[in-house]
Structure 1
Amino acid sequence: MVNDAETFGIDPAGGHAERVLALGYAPARAAPGIAAAFALDATLAKLALGTRDPMVAQLRLTWWHEALRALGGGVPPAQPILQTLAIAGADGTMLAAMSDGWEHLLAPPSPEDMSIFAVARGQLFEIAARLAGARDAVADAGQGWALADLAQATADPTVARIAAGMAEPLLKLAAGQRWSGEGRFLGALVHIARADLAGTHPVGAPRRVARLAWHRMTGR
């Protein structure tokens, strides 16, 4: 994902070495659009969690929302993420909903806010599955991944604890299915998220990498 980070100005894998591996499992024909979708998510996360002034974050999220809603309706702005998503034919309405989800984290979120966030951000997996031509059930996977990642990224220990607790049963359900060849990159992200929450082995540990290799071969 080094080249993607240079292209989009942000790392689609969020600096997570195993996510680089997982996203590499995506079908080659769909890889640029999928990388752009994850780069968008990383951008929205940075705005929502890394901007000190909530009003500034709100304005920037609104800009993205409007730009995403306009995809397919003309020439996109000279912004690499938007241009790549437009070329890939990604659904702008679904992408815009992701920014709506992040808005629920601009103030200290309640469990209800986190549920709304999970559903909205979790559409990233539906978008990626469509681009890849995968027909796997991805709702639990997307929501669980969204919450597990939030648990790792937030500086608020209460939010982290609640998000992790909400994520675990969703990820367990998602990991129980057999993923198609086209969807195995998303299944791999599920297994990575479960390993991150467990915290038993560090990222890149042989046991974790071997688990991903097994998933790539079997879909389990």
Structure 2
Amino acid sequence: MADLDPDRQLALVYVPASKRAAVETLWRLDAAFGAVLATGTEPMISRIRLAWWREALEKLDTAPPPAEPLLRALAGHVLPCGVAGAELAAMEAGWAAIAPGERLTPDNLARHGAARGARLFELSARLLGDESHPVAQAGRHWALVDLARHSAAQDERGAAFLAAGAVETRGRWPARLRPLGMISALARRDRSRGPERAERPGSPGRMLRMMRHRLTGY
């Protein structure tokens, strides 16, 4: 299964043990989608791999998972918590919007923010047991900032940061959702610093920012 970055690994430590496997598996699905694009050498092959994941996730609603570790983990940990395979499959559209060969237009950036970020945050909130807090905007913002952090081209980084800047993410996070809020707080920090002052994942400054959010909800 795809590895999680140090920031999300630290956030997982603060997820209750009874929910940790489900949240971790969901986040690893997001990382797996990212790995498809990061390791793809041909645009068409990347699209085929994304489509395979979408179809395999949809089939989880009607059939046992195949012998693929992440699909089995999703079936064992995430689906029993009230998340459908079709909801997971819908995340693929966010990655298809930025697949190789696609331009980072405002439309594609909006699709990425919504289908990847907003959905990931909403499903994470469901697994954490609190859907009362509006997390979709924070998810959009996080996805766009994360895209900027991982973009090699300066114009792409700028476009993603600009799109993230149009998304409002203020407000205090409830205690149950603070493991999720931790990575949202890092995204706000990253956008305020800009691409020229990017920090490596797991750096002391990032860890301190996460701890402050854990204590205050901001």
* Paired amino acid for 1:115: A
> Does residue 109 in structure 1 map to residue 104 in structure 2?
yes
Q: Can you give the 5+ residue segments of structure 2 that lack an aligned partner in the other structure?
A: none
2:7 is aligned, of 18, 28, 32, to: 18
Q: Which whole-Å CA distance do the structure 2 matches of 1:12 and 1:72 have between them? A: 26
| C-alpha displacement of 1:152 | 0.8
| C-alpha displacement of 1:21 | 1.2
2:126 is aligned, of 123, 126, 130, to: 130
Question: Which residue in 1 is equivalent to 2:217?
Answer: 219
| C-alpha displacement of 1:207 | 4.2
Q: 1:99 to 1:201 in 2, by over 3 A?
A: closer
| C-alpha displacement of 1:109 | 2.5
Q: Which whole-Å CA distance do the structure 2 matches of 1:201 and 1:55 have between them? A: 31
Root mean square deviation, CA, Å: 1.8
Q: Which whole-Å CA distance do the structure 2 matches of 1:79 and 1:34 have between them? A: 18
Does the CA contact (< 8 Å) of 1:147 and 1:163 recur in 2?
Answer: yes
Q: Deviations over 1:89-140 (max 9, x none)?
A: 1321221111111111122231111111111001111111111112221111
Give the percent of matched residue pairs that are identical in Structure 1 and Structure 2.
37
Give the paired residue count.
206
Q: Deviations over 1:123-182 (max 9, x none)?
A: 111111111112221111111111011001122221211111111343xx32x2221222
| C-alpha displacement of 1:22 | 1.5
1:35-114 paired onto structure 2 within 5 Å = 35-87=24-76, 88-89=78-79, 90-106=83-99, 107-114=102-109
Does the CA contact (< 8 Å) of 1:201 and 1:208 recur in 2?
Answer: no
Match of 2:87, SS?
helix
TM-score, normalised via structure 2 length: 0.86
Match of 2:15, SS?
coil
Does the CA contact (< 8 Å) of 1:37 and 1:81 recur in 2?
Answer: no
TM-score, normalised via structure 1 length: 0.86
Q: Which whole-Å CA distance do the structure 1 matches of 2:96 and 2:144 have between them? A: 15
Does the CA contact (< 8 Å) of 1:71 and 1:92 recur in 2?
Answer: yes
Q: Which whole-Å CA distance do the structure 2 matches of 1:35 and 1:22 have between them? A: 10
Q: 1:145 to 1:206 in 2, by over 3 A?
A: same
Q: Can you give the 5+ residue segments of structure 1 that lack an aligned partner in the other structure?
A: 1-7
> Does residue 196 in structure 1 map to residue 181 in structure 2?
no
Does the CA contact (< 8 Å) of 1:91 and 1:127 recur in 2?
Answer: no
Q: Which whole-Å CA distance do the structure 2 matches of 1:80 and 1:134 have between them? A: 28
Does the CA contact (< 8 Å) of 2:183 and 2:210 recur in 1?
Answer: no
Q: Which whole-Å CA distance do the structure 2 matches of 1:64 and 1:32 have between them? A: 20
1:148 is aligned, of 145, 149, 157, to: 145
| C-alpha displacement of 1:205 | 4.7
Does the CA contact (< 8 Å) of 1:77 and 1:83 recur in 2?
Answer: yes
Question: Which residue in 2 is equivalent to 1:3?
Answer: none
> Does residue 121 in structure 1 map to residue 77 in structure 2?
no
| C-alpha displacement of 1:206 | 4.1
Q: Which whole-Å CA distance do the structure 2 matches of 1:181 and 1:194 have between them? A: 19
* Paired amino acid for 1:179: W
Does the CA contact (< 8 Å) of 2:104 and 2:159 recur in 1?
Answer: no
* Paired amino acid for 2:122: E
